[in-house]
Amino acid sequence: MSIRRPLALIALFLTLAAAPAAAADLSGSWSGTWQSTSTGHAGPLRATFTPCGEGRYAVDFSGRFFKILPFRYSVTLRIIEDCGDRVTLAGSSWLGRLFGTFTYRADATDCSFEARYSSKKDSGVFRLHR
């Protein structure tokens, strides 16, 4: 057997081992729950992630409060750390005088998303999957 074949296999292995992990793609529909750590309130949550360039996603959230009151709002989350198959995102949104500004920090993979949110009057967590 020629020495070329084992060397070619070693070179292929080293190339694959050195390749960066594929970036997480958050595009599409997600579902899960939200929970306020301030009040204990919780409910269902859905989100649609749309890439909007330069490491940013436009995210449309919709859910229910007190099981019957629907809510819907949008936020732009930007990737602040990219570890290949996991990203960290951050953003904020103004939800009017009643609720104020909410800030978000999230960790996500292709199939899980967990965000901590906080405002002057509330804080909590979003847990989504697909």
Q: What is the pLDDT of residue 6?
A: 61
Total domains, the chain? 1
Domain that holds residue 109: 24-129
Q: Please, which contacts does 27-32 make with residues 24 or more away whose CB atoms are closer than 8 Å? A: 27/51, 27/57, 28/130, 29/130, 30/113, 30/128, 30/129, 30/130, 31/128, 31/129, 31/130, 32/113, 32/126, 32/127, 32/128, 32/129
Q: What is the structure's pLDDT at 49?
A: 97
Q: What is the pLDDT of residue 19?
A: 43
Please list the rounded mean pLDDT of every run of 10 residues in the chain (130 residues).
57 48 82 94 96 94 89 94 94 85 95 95 95
Say if 18 falls within a structural domain: no
The whole-number pLDDT of residue 16 equals 46
Question: Would residue 101 count as lying in a domain?
Answer: yes
Q: Note the pLDDT of residue 18.
A: 46
Q: What is the CATH number of the domain that holds 51?
A: 2.40.128.20
Q: What pLDDT score was predicted for residue 27?
A: 95
| Domain membership flag for residue 9 | no
Give a yes or no: residue 19 inside a domain. no
Quick check: is 46 in a domain? yes
- Give me the pLDDT at residue 94, please: 87
Specify if 60 maps to a domain.
yes
